[in-house]
Amino acid sequence: MNLLREITGFDLSARKQRWKLLLLLFAAMIVAASLYYTDILVKKLTLDERQKVELWADAVQKRASLVKYTEEFFENIREEERKRVELQAKVHRRLNYAESSGELNFIIEVLGSNTTIPVLLVDEDGVVYNSMNLDERFRGQRRLEGELWEYFSDYPPIPFAVGRTTQYIYYRDSKLFTDLKDVLDDLVDSFISDIVVSSANIPVLVVDSTRQQLIDYGNINDLDRDDPRAVASLIQSMSEKNPPITIELPTYGKAYVYYTNSFLVTQLRYYPIAQLMVIGIFLLVSYVLFSLARNAEQNMVWVGMSKETAHQLGTPLSSLMGWVELLKAKGVDDETIREIQKDLNRLEDITERFSKIGSAPSLVEQDLVGSVQEIIKYMKMRTSNKVHMVVVSSDSRIMVPFNANLFGWVIENIIKNAVDAMDGKGDIALELSDGEKQVILDISDTGKGIPPSKFRAIFKTGYTSKKRGWGLGLSLSKRIIESYHNGKLFVKESAPGRGTTFRIILRK
């Protein structure tokens, strides 16, 4: 029998359970590997972004130092150029008192040595009487006014006395000085731009040593730097995500660089969750489709087996009917004929049951109480006297649409299982109650009971706890009640050693 059950595929429940557990374990391993690998990628990107921020912070620090050094450098040049202009003022003052031609030539040589600094010599009335290194556009202009005044307004003039009058030397930065400053400013800006571009997708904040004053920020939209609360809130938020980077700025001293992860890292961090959701939905849809296909295939097998069984029973049944007529003709006693006829009628019912599997059965509104009592009467004649069966009903008649033949098959299957569970002795109670929209039938026994974990498994095809069982009865019964009668069949309550109660619900 065990070999037959393996051949027919009805003892695969445990094997299927093992396969499900293996597949579930394999899926869990895939999920764990995906999460682990994604976590590694996130950590690598996070480290890479911190290195970019450190590079950016170092560039900011170097730029600040470079700017300070450049300012000091150009301030020294400005000071040197002013000293040269002051020297020229002294030379002009000395020009009127030259005592020899050699001294005069020396003074003229000193004055002529200035080939880069634009200079104007102006008297007290603003009249220009001499100039050096002046732009072409200003040559020939004899008064210090208008655009010429603006051109020489960067520095205060240097006065010098000539006799009883005071004259003035106006000057501005030399072209060499201006060009050099522009070139260095461009280099500094280009340097910092390249560094910022390399970390352009990372939001950063630079704050002072008190961690309250905002010095600068980048890649942060909609930040009002004049709002202390917004700045403090952003600093707090960033400090919770990554530790700050300490730098030294010439003007501010110690400063801190705060940053947060880029949008790419954030996306990658939540990508596995979205991925698992998509995979989960896909697996759920696949499982539902597979279950539908499997159920459809099982239904075809059920229908094929049932039709074939009904067909195979038909031929010997017709032959037996002929033999009954022959026995009647030979004068066999009526009691024997009646008993044989009962069994023939029973075989006809069984054949009809199998023939109706797969077809829409006709549901006729009839008395459920009387039908159940007839079934119990039949079952009592074919079970031990040690099994006591009783039917309890809230009404003497309960009218509900059902197929008596198929419904009787369900009751017989449940009672047979109950008798086996009680080892051939015990009590079986069938309790009927009539409701407004449904009728409830509870079938209780005093058998071994069913563990709660098996409440659903017992209705699966092939599941059985009997050594010689096929695992078809309850599965077929559930199909008849739920598929053909649009009702419900389930275990209402059970416990090992305290019996089981099955509940059948039929809709009116």
85 shares its domain with 208: no
Residue 269 lies in a domain: no
pLDDT in tens, 382-423: 888 899 999 999 888 999 999 888 899 899 999 999 998 898
Last residue of a domain, one of 212, 227, 261: 261
Look at residue 8 in the predicted model and tell me its pLDDT.
41
In the DSSP assignment, the letter for residue 127 is B
Considering Cα of 358, then 360, then 364, then 369, what sign does the dihedral take? Answer: positive
Render 10-28 in DSSP notation, one character per residue: -S-HHHHHHHHHHHHHHHH
- What percent of the chain clears pLDDT 70, i.e. is strictly above it? 80
Q: 430 or 161, which is more confident?
A: 430
Considering the chain, what is the average pLDDT of its residues? Answer: 78
Q: How far apart are CA 292 and CA 215, in angstroms?
A: 65
- pTM summary value: 0.45
377 shares its domain with 471: yes
| Residue 97, amino acid | Y
Q: Most confidently modeled of 275-289, 305-319, 426-440?
A: 426-440
322 shares its domain with 370: no
166 shares its domain with 53: no
Q: How far apart are CA 426 and CA 366, in angstroms?
A: 30
The lowest-confidence range among 170-174, 288-292, 363-367 is: 288-292
Look at residue 95 in the predicted model and tell me its pLDDT.
62
pLDDT in tens, 249-303: 666 778 888 888 766 667 677 777 777 788 778 878 887 887 777 777 766 766 6
* Mean pLDDT calculated for residue range 140-156: 86
129 shares its domain with 93: no
Look at residue 299 in the predicted model and tell me its pLDDT.
66
Residue 1 lies in a domain: no
Domain harbouring 396, CATH code: 3.30.565.10
Residue 267 lies in a domain: no
pLDDT band at residue 11, thresholds of 50, 70 and 90? Answer: very low
Q: Has residue 440 got a pLDDT over 50?
A: yes
CA 138 distance to own-chain centroid? 72
Domains contained in the chain, number: 5
Closest C-alpha among 296, 319, 207, 330 to residue 483:
296
| Residue 483, amino acid | S
252, 215 Cβ separation under 8 angstroms: yes
355 shares its domain with 292: yes
Q: 367 or 84, which is more confident?
A: 367
Alpha-carbon separation of residue 436 from 289, 400, 404 (angstroms): 36, 11, 21
405 shares its domain with 457: yes
Residue 266 lies in a domain: no
* Mean pLDDT calculated for residue range 130-143: 83
pLDDT in tens, 47-104: 877 777 777 777 777 777 777 777 777 778 778 878 877 777 777 666 665 555 555 5
Residue 480 lies in a domain: yes
Q: Which domain holds residue 486?
A: 361-507
Q: Has residue 455 got a pLDDT over 50?
A: yes
212 shares its domain with 93: no
164 shares its domain with 35: no
Look at residue 12 in the predicted model and tell me its pLDDT.
47
Look at residue 298 in the predicted model and tell me its pLDDT.
67
* Mean pLDDT calculated for residue range 138-165: 84
pLDDT band at residue 338, thresholds of 50, 70 and 90? Answer: confident
52 shares its domain with 190: yes
180 shares its domain with 166: no
> Kindly report the CA angle at 135 between 130 and 138, in degrees rounded to 5?
65
246 shares its domain with 231: yes
pLDDT in tens, 188-233: 566 555 554 455 567 888 888 888 888 777 777 777 777 888 888 8
Residue 410 lies in a domain: yes
Residue 460 lies in a domain: yes
Last residue of a domain, one of 307, 326, 359: 359
How many other C-beta atoms can be found within 10 angstroms of the C-beta atom of residue 233?
Answer: 11
Residue 249 lies in a domain: yes
pLDDT band at residue 181, thresholds of 50, 70 and 90? Answer: confident
Q: Has residue 327 got a pLDDT over 90?
A: no
Look at residue 218 in the predicted model and tell me its pLDDT.
74
Look at residue 2 in the predicted model and tell me its pLDDT.
41
Look at residue 208 in the predicted model and tell me its pLDDT.
84
* Mean pLDDT calculated for residue range 20-31: 78
Q: Most confidently modeled of 23-32, 268-277, 368-377?
A: 368-377
Q: How far apart are CA 417 and CA 261, in angstroms?
A: 65
Q: 418 or 242, which is more confident?
A: 418
Considering Cα of 296, then 302, then 307, then 308, what sign does the dihedral take? Answer: positive
Look at residue 471 in the predicted model and tell me its pLDDT.
60
Look at residue 202 in the predicted model and tell me its pLDDT.
76
